[in-house]
Structure 1
């Protein structure tokens, strides 16, 4: 488990199904997110995926909960770990009631050094839809470097969208900053 002053980053449990569904079915949360769910059964598949990638050691997603109340707040993770190239993709989301408080920045400052210290990881990629200014600001604050625009590289809602690419390398100072002790087992 990772802890920050306000958050606990922990493995997902069965009790997280409903709050994960609440987040990943909320149009505000999924406006710039790559997936959304209409039913709890669809969301169960997402929860199974979180466990499967961890078991395969190709990723790690953690639930975020507030330390003060134990309320589920969102998720942070990395996935698609390529063992040969030592790269993966970074992602995150928060329930709207936690937006604008710096919580994802706080969570990422614990999560990123942890995954770099725990895994054979050289590079994390984060892809952001250009209108998602909050996410762009967060990545820059975390030390991710802008690499360019992938033009019309994905389909969403029956049209093509472009994605901005940001990366963080193990050698970047931000990847090493704030190393925190952890009892989280990978």
Structure 2
């Protein structure tokens, strides 16, 4: 059973345990630190998960916190769009959970009616995330060559998106 819920202060230790992984952080945005400390988790729960109008949910699987999913609304001429992102603790990879989480969050966001397009930038080696997006009907809109540097390495970014129908 998968549930999406708001974060609670009591999630800090478990969040630290899950997020403090080089494998989890390797393809996430530069603001996702590694090592991931209890201080990082407290900041995320109290401030970061809501910054810039973000809507972030803790992912529970059979009552246990296992990851996160969220959107960051865009502004100005892109105010009809939002970036979507997700991650799970390593022990929950390869079970189809991320696919279900993305489906649920995508449906919730589109049902809200505020956004017409969700997009997800994916670093080129992250083929597991590509599969999750494609299973949910996200389509590749373009590849931005040498777009980001993560841990001193250049990566192409695959830009996936889905439009509200």
**Structure 2 counterpart SS, 1:114:** helix
Q: Unpaired runs of 5+ in structure 2? A: none
2:101 pairs, out of 107, 117, 132, with: 107
| Distance apart, 1:52 and its partner CA | 3.7
Q: Equivalent residues in 2 for 1:54-93 (5 A)?
A: 58-67=53-62, 70-82=63-75, 84-85=77-78, 86-93=80-87
TM-score (norm 2): 0.88
TM-score (norm 1): 0.79
Contact map agreement 1:83 1:120 (CA 8 A) in 2: no
Contact map agreement 2:22 2:34 (CA 8 A) in 1: no
Structure-1 residue corresponding to 2:14: 19
| Distance apart, 1:80 and its partner CA | 3.4
Structure-2 residue corresponding to 1:51: 50
Q: Equivalent residues in 2 for 1:104-183 (5 A)?
A: 104-171=98-165
| Distance apart, 1:158 and its partner CA | 2.6
| Distance apart, 1:119 and its partner CA | 4.2
Aligned counterparts of 2:152 and 2:95: Cα–Cα separation in 1 = 33
Structure-2 residue corresponding to 1:177: none
1:36 pairs, out of 28, 33, 36, with: 33
Q: Hey, which bits of structure 1, 4+ residues long, moved more than 3 A?
A: none
Superposed CA RMSD in Å reads 1.6
> How many residues are matched?
160
Aligned counterparts of 1:26 and 1:17: Cα–Cα separation in 2 = 15
- After superposition, the C-alpha distances for 1:8-37 in whole angstroms (9 at most, x for unaligned) are 110000111122222222111112112224
Aligned counterparts of 2:8 and 2:26: Cα–Cα separation in 1 = 25
Aligned counterparts of 1:83 and 1:120: Cα–Cα separation in 2 = 14
